[in-house]
Amino acid sequence: MKAVLRLRREPFYRRDAFEKGLQRAGFTLVDKAAPSGPRDWLVIWNRKRGADEQEADLWEQRGGTVIVAENGYLAKTEKTHYAISVHGHNGSGWFPVGEEDRFSALGFELKPQRLFNYKEIVIREQRGIGSVLMASPPNWARKTLGTLQPKLKMPFRIAPHPGDKNKGAIDAANLKNAAALVTWGSAMGVRALVEGVPVFYAAPHWICEEGAQRLEFFPTPGFSEGARAAALHRMSHGQWHFDEIATGEPFARILAGSK
Amino acid sequence: MTTTLQNLPAMLALAVLVERLGGEVLISQADIDKIAYTRLLEGWAENGSAVLRVEHKSKEVQ
């Protein structure tokens, strides 16, 4: 088994965790290779459309496995958890979902579902990064606002993308008065589910789609406690702390599940 | 048979019936304005459905 690791050198602890984890799972790290089967991996960041996606497509066409890493979906401390899945990020790929509770360890209390007394619909701006399938269209938030506003008399607000720092706190502040969140497929939606805010998503796949509603059904959210819990459980098996990654466990689980 | 609609949208169903029976339905601009309505979101029911209040535009103008 060999693995080509395409993650940047920085941050060092992230690269180090992936290197150690892959080696502990039995991979030999190489700078470049052609796959000779599904146990040869190409490990990339996000599968962005363009050169990254072309390389991933080619790797898969030749019978190899593409592992996609990204920032985690939900964590108390940023840049500690990383999403890891086969083929695609944010629900567009596959990862094994075990039975053990990984969500509780993240330290988030599930708030009751919001029912009344919240008076704005928040639309989260998206940056348009991702594969051809998963990247949001240009100006998605503004176009969505134009579509939804005539359907419902309600204050709508576009929440700008928070950037790469302090995302959790900014997202939480943006959700303070939200009756619902409309998102392409952002991690803010995961936080919204935790806060009890109904989520409508528009991407073809989303990591917590089981606990949310497709945008075309707006404004009927159709939420349930069971669906929310199942969605967050699944999400928690799709992201790993860098210390866990260094043990090789997420990679071993993928290997076991791919047999 | 000619019917002028005064009380929309309940009369719409009757208008369709009248037309199907071969009658003529006259709808004024005022009637059309009354058809237009706005949906206001009150919140969400426990079962996950939206609780909406439907308000005719004519009421909104008042």
Are the C-beta atoms of residues A190 and A235 closer than 8 Å to each other? Answer: yes
Statement to judge: residues A222 and A253 lie in one domain: no
Both A137 and A217 in one domain: the answer is: yes
Regarding whether A59 and A150 lie in a shared domain, the answer is no
Residue B55 banded pLDDT, cuts 50, 70, 90:
confident
Nearest to A198 among B42, B44, B52 (CB): B44
The pLDDT score that the predictor gives to residue A194 is 97
Quote the pLDDT of residue B61: 45
Q: Does residue A115 sit at the B interface (CB-CB below 8 Å)?
A: yes
Q: Is residue A108 in some structural domain?
A: no
Spatial CB neighbours of A104, under 8 Å, sequence gap ≥ 6: none
Beta bridge partners of A42: A4, A66
Give the residue from chain A lying closest to B45, CA to CA: A115
A73 occurs within a structural domain = yes
A18 within domain boundaries: yes
Same domain, A60 and A126: no
Q: Whose CA is closest to A241, among A233, A250, A229?
A: A250
- Supply the pLDDT for residue B25: 73
* Same domain (yes/no): A133, A211: yes
Q: Return per-residue pLDDT of chain A as tens, 259 residues.
A: 999 999 999 999 999 999 999 999 999 999 999 999 999 999 999 999 999 999 999 999 999 999 999 999 999 999 999 999 999 999 999 999 999 999 999 999 999 999 998 989 999 999 888 999 999 999 999 999 999 998 888 899 999 998 888 888 999 999 999 999 999 999 999 999 999 999 999 999 999 999 999 999 999 988 899 999 999 999 999 999 999 999 999 999 999 997 5
Neighboring chain B residues of A122 at a CB cutoff of 8 Å:
none
- Chain A residues 157-186 with CB within 8 Å of chain B: 179
Residues A72 and A146 in one domain: no
**Are both A205 and A245 inside the same structural domain?**
no
How sure is the predictor about B16, in pLDDT bands with cuts at 50, 70 and 90? confident
- Confirm whether A114 is domain-assigned: no
Q: Tell me the one-letter amino acid at B44.
A: W
How far apart are the two ends of chain A, measured CA to CA in Å?
14
Q: Do A115 and B40 touch (CB under 8 A)?
A: no
Residue B26 reports pLDDT greater than 90: no
Domain contains A252: yes
How many helices (H) and strands (E) chain B has is answered by 3, 4
Best residue in A113, A115, A119, A216 for a mutation probing chain B (most B CBs within 10 Å): A115
Q: Are residues A57 and A153 in the same domain?
A: no
Residue A246 in domain:
yes
Which DSSP category does A81 fall into? E
Number of structural domains found in chain A = 2
User: Can you tell me the ipTM of this complex?
Assistant: 0.74
Do A138 and A163 sit in the same domain of this protein? yes
**Same domain, yes or no: A217 and A244:** no
Q: Is 80 exceeded by the pLDDT of residue B7?
A: no
Contact A254, A28 (CB under 8 A): no
What pLDDT is attached to residue A185? 96
At A212, which CATH number? 3.40.50
Domain contains A106: no
* Same-domain status, A135 and A78: no
Beta bridge partners of B38: B55
- Reported as a pLDDT band with limits 50, 70 and 90, residue B1 is very low
Within a domain: A218: yes
Range of the domain at A196: 120-235
- Do A193 and A245 fall into the same domain? no
User: What torsion do the CA atoms of A100, A211, A119, B44 make, to the nearest 10 degrees?
Assistant: -110
Q: What is the reported pLDDT for B33? A: 62
**B60: which 2 tokens?**
């909104």
**Closest residue, chain A, to B49 (C-alpha):** A220
